[in-house]
Structure 1
Amino acid sequence: MFGRKKRLPYTLSESLQLSTKLTDMSFTVFDTETTGFAIETHDRLIEIGAVHVEQMEVTDKTFQTFANPSREIPAHITTLTSIEQHHVKDAPNSLEAIKNYFQFVEDNNSNCWVGHHLTFDTMVIKKELHRAKHSVELPSTFDTYELIEHIMPKLKALDLEEYAKLFGTKIFERHRALGDALTTAHLFVEIIKRLERKGITTLADLLRIKNKRLILL
């Protein structure tokens, strides 16, 4: 029974036409909170937050869930996030929390995922699914940090809040999954507006930015 991973029924991983206009696409901007950064070993997911972006507008469609990490939340994480043990005590386990997040994405027919320093958040999802002996094909993803690098290649790395201030976008509750997802969503919309002024208007254009960065790494 446990020799093979169970594949989650996630149906939005199909390819889009590369010529699709960015303004015709929908995005899920999401963020995670964890018990720490050692997600490959002992740290665990404790919260997922997400917001739906449609036609390059941040909507009022949001998602938030805690996840029970089956371990104590370190004091410094509680200080940073304000998430305490009682918040996660009766929360769903990581697999159920992720399934609920996927359902939010599918309910909104989202085409792609967006995040800030997204590699970590997608790794959290993948590692928690791996522990639960599940697998899934994730959709295309875009990282606001990488897109900012394309616009301002000489800009030193900044905190999410500092980027939001630089781009003149809204800032929501920090170091909470939904708050950071909302901050990232507004930042993403402004980034896309600036990229469109440079002629980057389709999915193919956005993927070229991502692929060019991967080649340079």
Structure 2
Amino acid sequence: MSWWEFWKPKIERLEFVRDFLEVNKHTIPGIRSINQLKFTVLDTETTGLEPSMDSILSFGAVKISDLKIQVPSAVEWYPKSDKKTGKASLIHGLVRISDQISVEEFLKKLLPYLNNSIIIGHHIGFDLEMINKELKPFGINQLPNPVIDTLNLAIRLEHGPNADRSRIAMGAYSLDELCNRYGIEPDDRHTAGGDAFLTAQLFLKLLKLADKKGIRTFKDLIR
């Protein structure tokens, strides 16, 4: 085996990272209207709730463009994990998983899928911590995409941008409670794909409320 053959796999492995970072070099103009923006709504199911110790068992996502959920874009992937599911399996039921892919293959699918879209999720910080942990060995410490948490957006729209969270019943801002409040049927709950689809529906409901409050551009939305 030549030295070139020895190094070639490493070069090919990093190409998808370079391509992803290249498309994210340019920021979204603040004046761009919300109906022109592209969003990726995502969710993960994991072996537990400690990002440093646990890993992703399933990843689900769906895209929104033209203020419509693009159902054919929906994906659900299952990265391999050597971690035991523990108590988390009582919630998501993921014990024996078929169609598993390596973490590297998962990331090769994930980054082109995200592209330069705006990432949406409910309590998204945890999901991003889990994803960023898997990306670090590949040279990305943190996804560069803009991020919107539907939990934070709902609080902002219902209580104002300077809401005092110590005076807010945070239990009213779980995904279940928000779906109930905004008339969304909670089907397929506690699967990554199902929760991503519910969050996408919630996000569109929140965007309608945002429009009524004069929030109509990327700058207004991301503040």
Give the TM-score taking structure 2 as reference length.
Answer: 0.81
* Unpaired segments ≥5 residues, structure 1: 209-217
After superposition, residues 54-203 of structure 1 pair within 5 angstroms as: 54-60=65-71, 61-74=73-86, 76-84=87-95, 86-87=96-97, 91-106=100-115, 111-130=117-136, 132-135=137-140, 137-153=143-159, 155-158=168-171, 159-203=174-218
Q: Is the 8 A contact 1:33 1:48 kept in 2?
A: yes
Q: Give per-residue Cα distances to partners, 1:28-61, cap 9 Å, x unaligned.
A: 0000111001112x21111110001111111212
Q: 1:191 to 1:12 in 2, by over 3 A?
A: farther
SS in 2 for 1:204: helix
What secondary structure is seen at the aligned counterpart in 2 of 1:186?
helix
Give how far 1:166 is off. Answer: 0.5
Contact 1:45 1:94 in 2 (8 A): no
In 1, Cα distance between the equivalents of 2:43 and 2:50? 17
Query: Matched residue of 1:49: which SS?
Result: strand
Identity %: 25
Larger radius of gyration: 2
Deviation at 1:202, TM superposition (A): 0.2
1:100 corresponds to which letter in structure 2? K
| CA distances 1:92-147 after superposition (whole Å, capped 9, x unpaired) | 222321321222233xxx521100011111111111112x3431642101000010
Q: Is the 8 A contact 2:60 2:75 kept in 1?
A: yes
Number of matched pairs: 197
**Correspondence for 2:37:** 25
Q: One-letter code of the match for 2:94?
A: I
2:182, 2:203 → 1: CA distance? 10
Distance 1:63 1:133, change over 3 A: same
Residue type of the alignment partner of 2:146: S
Regions of 4+ moved over 4 Å: none
Gaps of 5+ in 2: 1-6, 160-166
CA distance in 2, matches of 1:129, 1:55: 30
- The answer to which structure has the higher helix fraction is 2
1:185, distance to aligned residue in structure 2 (A): 0.2
TM-score w.r.t. length of structure 1? 0.83
- Letter in structure 2 aligned against 1:91: Q
1:200 Cα deviation from its structure 2 partner? 0.2
Structure 2 distance, partners of 1:104, 1:58, is: 15
Deviation at 1:156, TM superposition (A): 1.8
Partner of 1:214: none
